[in-house]
Structures are given as C-alpha cells and as structure tokens.
Structure 1
C-alpha cells in the first residue's frame, strides 16, 4: 500500500471515529434528562460493562486481520487471505454468541454486585448487540486489509446514528407511556442492538460489492487448492499472537470506566448512603464521562494521522526523521487537546447546567476532564510504540496502570469518596503515560516541548485564571435571567475567549514557531499561520528545543 493511500485511509478511519464519538456524547444529553437518577445509574452501568466486553471481543483482531490479509494479497495469495477471513468470521460468530449468553445469564449477578440491581434489564437489553459486533469487526478488518477504509467508516457512523435515534426515541416513548426508569434505561440500551444491525447491513452491502468486483477481476475461486489450505489452529495462533497486546492496550479506558461504575455504589453507600451513591454513579457515567470524552477526539485524530509516517520512517531506519515525527505527534496531541480541556474544566459548572438536568457533580466533571490530558498522551504514545514494533510494551504499561487504578480506588475512595475514585483514574493515566514515554526515550531521542514548557505552562495558567473569572462573572447572570440562558452565555464566552487567546499566547510565548509550522497538519497550519507576524523581530529560536 502506498504511503499516501495509507495516510488517507488512516484519516478516513479517524474521521469516522470522531463522528461516532461525537454522536455517542450527544446521545447522553437527552437521556440524562429523561432517565432520572435510578435510570441513569442503570444505563451508565450497562453501557460501561458493554463497552468493556465489546473492546475485549473486537479490539486488536481487526487490525491484525487487516495486516495478514494485506500481506497475502501482496504475495498474490488471495485464497489464503480468504481462508484467514473465513477463520476470523467463525471466531467472531463464536465469540459473539458466547459473550452474549454469558452477559445475559450473569447480568443479575453483576448488577447486584455493583449494588445497582435495577441495571439487570438494561444490561440484558444490550446483550444481543454483541452477537453481531465481533463479526462486524472482522469484516472491517478484512476491508482494511484490502485497502478499503470507507466501508468500516460508514458502518461506524450508521451504527451510531441508529443507536442514538433508537435510544432517545425508545426512552422518550417509555417516558410518555409512564414506564419505570428501569424499563426506560433498558429501552435506551436497546439502541445498541439496532445500531449493530444497521452496521452489519452496511458491511454486507460492501462485502457483496467487493465479491462481485473480485469475480470480475478473476480473483475469486470456486474451490480451494489443497496446497494452500491453512489449518485454522495456525491461523488463530497467528492472529492471537499479534492481537492480544492490542486488545489489552485498547482496554485501558473501557476497563477503567467499568471499574468505576462497578465500585462506586459499594464504596460510597457506607459514607453517604445508597441514594446519593447512585446519584454519584449517574453523574459520573452520564455527565462526567460524556464530557470527558470530548477532548481526546480531535487530539487523537490529528496525531493518529502521523502514525503511518512514523512506522514508515522506523522501517527505513531514518532516525532523524523519526525523531521529528514522534516529537510532532506528541506535541500536536498536547497542543490540540489542552484548549478543550481548559474550556471544559473552567466552565464545568455552566456546561453541566446547560446540557444536563442540574449542576450537581460539576467538580467531578472538571476533575475527570482534567485527567484526559494524561489520557491523550498515554494513548498517542502507546500508538507510537505500536508503530515502532513494540506492541507488548504499552500492554504491560496498561496492566501496571490498571493495577494502580484498582489500588488507588480502594484506598482513596474510602478517604476522599468519589473524588478519590476519579483521582485514581488520573494516577492510572499519568503512570501509564510516564512508562510509555520512558520506553519511547530508549528508542527515539524526542522532546515534546523542551525549553518551551515554561511558555506553555504560563499560557495554561493564565488562560485557566481568565476562564474561571469569566465563568464566575457569567454565573452572576443567573440572578437576572433564566439559569439555562445564563449558563449558555457563560460557557460560550469561556469557550470563545479561550479558543481565541490560546493560539495567540502559544505564538507570543514561542511555544509554536514559524520554522516547524510546515510540518503541522493543515488544520493547525491554517490556525497559526496568520498569527506568525507576532513573532517578527524576535530572536529565532531552534524548532527542536
């Protein structure tokens, strides 16, 4: 695959992931208003256990399958590629059926262990979605191996659209019919099932289209040549050997959210009572995790576009170019993620009041959103290690981070309550991020910001102060107008002022310089280029400092 098409494919998948994540965040807003405390806690618990199992069943294997299929077609062995695809589909069907059955059977046990027994129906309503998703993941991996990224991206978007429409629509219908919060949460959860059906139909359409194209090109065969039939055992061995590190690394965020939703009520109910503990669970899963999911979207999409270039430079042993690209990927991750984190942290109270039914838990939202700056660097640095041929390294680091998370949650949770549990999430991300960067340093001589950290931190502290000041002033408007209008004005002003001042201050403090601008992705070049006149007349500073 040519480097240009590889990068284009990566960008297609990143764009699809971005749209899908935005839709996933949007879904939580109307649901939070309709479900109430009990329903929100049940839906949040069901969603987190589902996302963890979905990641376990699908993450890693599609990319491994894509790699194996691509290699076989490059060697002109289409029959072997089809055999691998067949084996992957069989595995997907088996894994989907097994996980669905286990989730349905053990839903009451898990819900009771988490002290949210009313979540049983919501978990069972989501379970059927896991029948199809492993198969969909295998099909996406196969198409990636054939250098066709659009089918996977389109199916991902259709899946989220159907999920959102079904979840919100059923929850609203059940609300108008007077159903209980437990049944409303189950209706909202069932959106995942309709989403999986939609995604599967899209993939089937593209599979038939590709099969027809193969037949016309003479790639299809009516029968298998005995000399090229690969044993299924060998295929599975090759797939799992490559995919297990990716699966474990991909589980970092889903398993952390799963841990949180599982332990919050058991830990907190002895401190603040079960009703308030369930409210904390609802705020964390419906409000905080939704808002905290926003900052990584753009940062990871931008930095992901550089990963193929890093892999290519490493394969050719172009170490100088590799150093620059690793530095650039990590720098872009931090620079593009920070302003969103700043806005959402400083305006957490207004954003919470604007989007959700109350301002309860604004501090939780602010703290969890702050954690995402560590999450962003952790995920990007882990991806770079994969690109450098070290898949096991970030896997072990994630395992250490999860151990830190567990120890921290059960220690800090009993001392500081919900803030201790969220704080342990920050420790997990920070430890994993540090370990990833330490391992990267052993391969690549990179500097994220070098001597520019002072200018960057000055920018962050100054903008945080400005943001909090605008937030405080804006919230005074609640005394003279409707609260939601005041929250809209306040959060909009914080966002507008910080998003305008942030690039200006980065240029003024020479965190971003003219010399390196040409290496940035086009969206960032368009932002910073007009501001470079602010650096005229100043001493030129080395771009790699």
Structure 2
C-alpha cells in the first residue's frame, strides 16, 4: 500500500467524489418526483442538520489526525502514530453515541422551531448513521495521514451506492403510508450507506495492519528508529487528546462552515420569506434550494475538497521539516489547480442552469415556484462556489501549517457577515438576498485566509495570467448566454421537455466546455510548460489529440 503523491491522491479523491456526487444527483431525480418540493425541504433539513452534527461529533479529528499522523510518520515515530489512531477511534465511538441520542431527542423541538414539523421523523431516521460515521471519518483521516487515498475514495463510492438505492426504494415503498414516512425512508438510506462504508474501511484497515506487521518484522533486526518508536508508544491518552483537541477545535469550526451555512439557510428561509410569498411557497423555495441548487452547486468544489484532503499531510510534513520552499511551491500549485479546474464547472452549470434543471429534476408537481425560482437560484448559489473553492484550499494550507487562529477568525467573521447580510438583504431581495449573504461569507473568509498566507510565505498562483483568465471567462459567458437563448428557442426536436432539455444541455456544455481550454491556450493562461507537469493520463490525452503541442513544448524547453 504505497503512498500517494499530491496529484495521484487528488485524482483518486476527485474521481471518487465525482462519482459520489453524480450518484447523489441521480438520487435526487426520483426523490423530487416522489416527494415534491415540500418533501425535499424536510429531507434537506434533516440532511443538513445531520451533516453539521457529524462534523461536531468527529470534532475535526480526521483533519487533525491526518496532520499528526503525517508529522510522526515523517519523523519515523510509527508506533506513536498508531497509538494516536487508537485514541481517536475511542473518542469517535463515544462521540457518535452521544450525538445519535442528542439528534434523536432534539428532532421535534428543532423541526417545530423552524416551522417544518414534518422534518421530525426524517431527522430521527437519519440519527443512527452518527453511530458509525465518526469512526469512518477517523479511519479516513488516518489513511489520509498515511497518504493512502484509495480506501477513502472507494468507501465514498460504496457508501453512496447503498445510500441511493436504499433511499429511493424506501421512499417509494413508504409513500403509500404517508409523505412523512416516505421522507423518513429516504433519510434512512444514510444509515445503510454508513454500514457499507464502514465495511470497506475495516477491510482496508485489516489489510494495512498485515502490511505494517510484515514491515516491522523485516526491520526488527535492531533498527534504532524502530526502538525509538517503541519507546514513545506509551504516550498517554490524556496527552494525545490534548494535542488532538488543540488542533481539532479550530479545524471543526473551519470544516463545518459550509454545512453550517446550509443549516442556517434551512432554518431561516421559511421564517424570512413567509411574509413575502406565503408559508407554503417559502417551503417550496426552500425545497428548491436544498434539493436542487445545493446538490448542483456542490459539484465545482469537488476537486477543491479533494485537493484540501491531499494537501494537508503534504504541507504538514514539509512544514514540520522547515522545508518552506516546498510549502510555497505546493501552495501556489494547489490554488492554481483549484481555480482553473473549478471555474469551468461553475461556468457550465450557470450557463446551462435552465436545461440542466429541467432535464435532471423537471417539475413533476407542476409548481409555479419551480418554474420561477429554480434556474435563478441554481445560478446564484453556483456563482458563490468559486469563492468557496479558494476558501477551502487556502484554509487547508493554513491547516497544514498549524495556523488555526486565522481559520477561526475567518469563520467567525464570515458567519457574522452571513447572518447580518441575510436579515438585511432578505426583505429586499428575497431568497437571492440570502444567497448573496452566502457569497459574501465566502468572500470574507477567502480574503482573510489569503492575507494570512501572504504574511507567512511567498507564493504565486497565476501572476500576470489573471488577465487571460478574465478574458476567457468573459468570452465564454457571452457565448454561453447567447447559446442558451438560441437552443431554448430553436432546439426542441422531440417536443417533450426532458429530452429537449437534455439535448440543449449537451450543446451548451459541449461548446462552452471545449472553448475553455482553447481560450486558456490562446490567452496563454495555460502554457506548454504547464502541460508537461500535468498527470500522465492527461498528457497522453493531449498528446493523442494534439501531439504537436507536447512535442513543441519539449523542443522549446530544449532550445
């Protein structure tokens, strides 16, 4: 079980997250059809509250654990790293039990307080998943610290497959009983998913134990480092927990930012909009936000999350060894990759929001709110994703460097802006004011993170090439808007909304998606030398369609 590099680890986690996200979007299609916007609102409330408590239950320990494991592994203290892992598992078991009981008990009070009492049963149905997911998260953090990303990626895919199948089947079977029970059945899919993910992680943990045992046996012939590891293996759990919590409390505050924002929205949308549009319409708008927009807006940040998980142990290892050049190089690299890869996804979803929404979700209940609000809400929330991408990756670098105070400061400032702006803008702009408040939150956090990084290290993301990226974005936006109008007006060969929307989506995404790399090359935002440092599969793909690019780059480098 070899260690994964930044690029390989990121690719593994990105592919896994893409598959998992795609399955999650696929899951929403039958659920929207079965449950409608009102049912999806209750489902989204349960899921967002559960997600926030899951972060609290693990107390940021997976990321803190990754940092501590990578540091000790780099220094050869393997036995101490294993003892830290065992201590984290014990904590996760206790925290999962406490949070499960808490979520089950608080469900009716929370649902009543946000004017969505039908969310009580779905929240309680999802509560048992908290028993296993803290343990799964700890195991993922351990493998991440050992720079082994395959177990994490595979467990995400298996978890999502079982979750999707169970959610849809139970929702369909229980719909004849009542809408509330159908939503609860959809929520219970998370419990089945947690069991499947746990099975995958246990398999890899046993496999890694056998590998470590064999390696220790081979090195047991009087190696000094092995003896040093044994000598430090009696590290007290009290000391371990002290170090873990000192790191994890700031991390949990940072890690739960997005989940907390979505939970805030789930809690305040109905309250803030009911006087403007009526309570029933406010719930439908909430269903659109949590059932459609949040699932699509989460796609562009997939690579950023994968990069964040991969970069923390690498930055931690380099920073612990005072290798500041590697810290600077990796910081610039991870920010550049996240921006260049996240931006096209933001553009494609925004430009094709109408056809994408119609094709994936449709309007099975014939709701006027769905026709009016769906595409604009998807566009507005997806725009904020580009700031979330930079916030996520810059925060991960700070996390790897141990700059926890800056993370906490950024989160506090961002959430304060989010709350204040929501209450100020909602009466004026409605749901779009609440989404604008989310975007402002990410902007504030991004600015704070980058400001702190600039004081600590020198790094370069794109330099003068920002102009080319802006030009590329402007051209694709103009072309995409015109193309969206044309295809919706004239490309309707099937005479049926969903097939027509599928064809329109393909045309817009194909043209805009193909134009993005071409414009990056024409504006010299991406150069031939950049292609030389891309992963092998991408170099081979470029070489197949444009072999002269790579050969020309090599010739120029050699000349």
TM over 0.5: yes
Query: Hey, what's the Cα distance between the residues in 1 that align with 2:303 and 2:141?
Result: 23
Q: Does 1:247 align with 2:252?
A: yes
Q: Does 1:401 align with 2:414?
A: yes
Going from structure 1 to structure 2, the CA distance change for 1:447 and 1:27 (only over 3 Å counts) comes to same
The superposition leaves residues 338-358 of structure 1 with CA deviations (integer Å, 9 ceiling, x where unpaired) of 111111111111111111132
Residue in 1 that maps onto 2:225: none
In structure 2, runs of 5+ residues without a counterpart are 221-229, 364-369
Shift of 1:319: 5.4
Residue in 1 that maps onto 2:25: 25
Q: Which stretch shows the higher mean deviation, 95-104 or 527-536?
A: 527-536
Contact 1:96 1:132 in 2 (8 A): yes
Match of 2:405 among 392, 417, 431: 392
Shift of 1:306: 5.9
Residue in 2 that maps onto 1:180: 178
Query: Hey, what's the Cα distance between the residues in 1 that align with 2:319 and 2:82?
Result: 30
Query: TM-score, normalising length from structure 1?
Result: 0.88
Contact 1:397 1:436 in 2 (8 A): yes
Match of 1:507 among 521, 524, 527: 521
Going from structure 1 to structure 2, the CA distance change for 1:311 and 1:201 (only over 3 Å counts) comes to closer
Q: Does 1:294 align with 2:299?
A: yes
Going from structure 1 to structure 2, the CA distance change for 1:208 and 1:346 (only over 3 Å counts) comes to closer
Residue in 2 that maps onto 1:362: 375
Q: Which stretch shows the higher mean deviation, 73-82 or 49-58?
A: 73-82
Going from structure 1 to structure 2, the CA distance change for 1:507 and 1:307 (only over 3 Å counts) comes to farther
Query: Hey, what's the Cα distance between the residues in 2 that align with 1:6 and 1:414?
Result: 45
Query: Hey, what's the Cα distance between the residues in 1 that align with 2:290 and 2:19?
Result: 20
Going from structure 1 to structure 2, the CA distance change for 1:302 and 1:518 (only over 3 Å counts) comes to farther
In structure 1, runs of 5+ residues without a counterpart are none
- 1:123-522 to 2 correspondence within 5 Å? 123-145=123-145, 148-175=148-175, 178-211=176-209, 229-301=234-306, 314=319, 322-358=327-363, 360=371, 361-477=374-490, 481-522=495-536
Going from structure 1 to structure 2, the CA distance change for 1:6 and 1:338 (only over 3 Å counts) comes to closer
Contact 1:514 1:532 in 2 (8 A): no
Shift of 1:245: 1.8
Going from structure 1 to structure 2, the CA distance change for 1:19 and 1:399 (only over 3 Å counts) comes to farther
Q: Which stretch shows the higher mean deviation, 226-235 or 57-66?
A: 226-235
The superposition leaves residues 214-241 of structure 1 with CA deviations (integer Å, 9 ceiling, x where unpaired) of 6666779xxxx99964443222111111
Query: Hey, what's the Cα distance between the residues in 2 that align with 1:11 and 1:376?
Result: 16
Query: Hey, what's the Cα distance between the residues in 2 that align with 1:502 and 1:71?
Result: 39
Q: How many residues align?
A: 534
Query: Hey, what's the Cα distance between the residues in 1 that align with 2:149 and 2:328?
Result: 28
Query: Hey, what's the Cα distance between the residues in 1 that align with 2:21 and 2:435?
Result: 21
Query: Hey, what's the Cα distance between the residues in 2 that align with 1:298 and 1:70?
Result: 21
| Corresponding residue SS for 1:154 | helix
Query: Hey, what's the Cα distance between the residues in 2 that align with 1:233 and 1:72?
Result: 18
Query: TM-score, normalising length from structure 2?
Result: 0.86
RMSD: 3.3
Residue in 1 that maps onto 2:109: 109
| Corresponding residue SS for 1:295 | coil
Query: Hey, what's the Cα distance between the residues in 2 that align with 1:363 and 1:249?
Result: 28
Query: Hey, what's the Cα distance between the residues in 1 that align with 2:489 and 2:4?
Result: 52
